[in-house]
Amino acid sequence: MRYRVSIRQNALCYLACGLMLLAAVLRLCHFLPRWAETEPFILATQLFLPLLAAIVYCYGALAQGGKRFLITDLGVFLGVVFFMAKAQGFASAWHTVLCTLLYLLVFILYTITSLGVWGSLLPLKLVFGLPLLFHIAQDIFFPEPGFREAPLPELSVLCIMGGLLLATFAMELKEINRNNN
C-alpha cells in the first residue's frame, strides 16, 4: 500500500519553519563574532550546512502550498550530515556511533515516510520527539560545560529538533487508490 504525503499549510507548519529559521539565526549569531578564528571546516559543517538545511527544508514545506514536500528530504539529509559531523566531536566513541546510527535512522524513516512507503507518522514523531525531550532534560539538569559559555549552538539544535517534530504533526498521509495508479 502506498501513501501520498503532504504537509498542511497550518500553524504547525509555519511554526516548524519558524523554528528552523530561528536555528539558522542562532547559528549566525554564534559564528559571526567568531568568524576570523573559526576553522573553515567548522564553518562549513557547523554554520553553512545547517543554514542550507533550514532554508531547503522551509522551501520544501512552504513552496506551492506544500506540494514540493519531497524537497524536504534534501533538507533532512543536509541536517543529518550536519548532526553526523557534530557527533565527531563527542567525547565518547560509543556516543558518536550511537548518535550516528540514530541520525541515519532518522533519514531512512523520514525518506520512506515522505515517499509514501511507510504508512504511519508515529515512528517519525517518536524519533524526533524522544531525543528532543532527552536534550531538553539534559540541558536543564545536566548541562554540558560548554553550554553555559556558548548556549546558542545547543539552542539551535533544540530548534531544529523541535521544528522537525512540529512538521510531523503538520504532515498528512493519504492512501493512494491502487486503481488510479
How does pLDDT run across 83-128, given as a tens digit for each residue?
A: 999 999 888 999 999 999 999 999 999 999 988 898 899 999 999 9
Identify the domain containing residue 131 by its residue range.
3-180
At 99 the pLDDT is: 92
Question: Which of the pair, 69 or 103, is modelled with greater confidence?
Answer: 103
Alpha-carbon gap, residue 84 to 46, rounded angstroms: 10
Candidates 101, 22, 16; CA nearest to 66 is 16
Candidates 9, 159, 20, 157; CA nearest to 90 is 157
**8 three-class SS:** coil
Write the pLDDT tens digit of every residue in 11-28: 999 999 999 999 999 999
Measured from the Cβ of residue 4, the count of other Cβ atoms closer than 10 Å reads 11
Looking at the chain, the whole-number percentage of residues with pLDDT higher than 90 is 72
DSSP 120-153: -SHHHHHHHHHHHHHHHHHHHHS--HHHHH--HH
Query: Which residues are CB-contacts of 76 (< 8 A; sequence separation ≥ 6)?
Result: 53, 57, 106, 107, 110, 111, 164
Handedness of CA 64, 65, 66, 67 (dihedral sign): negative
Candidates 80, 72, 51; CA nearest to 7 is 72
Q: Please give the tally of structural domains in the chain.
A: 1
Which helix (DSSP H) or strand (DSSP E) does residue 5 occupy?
strand 3-7
The grid coordinates listed for 142 are 545536566
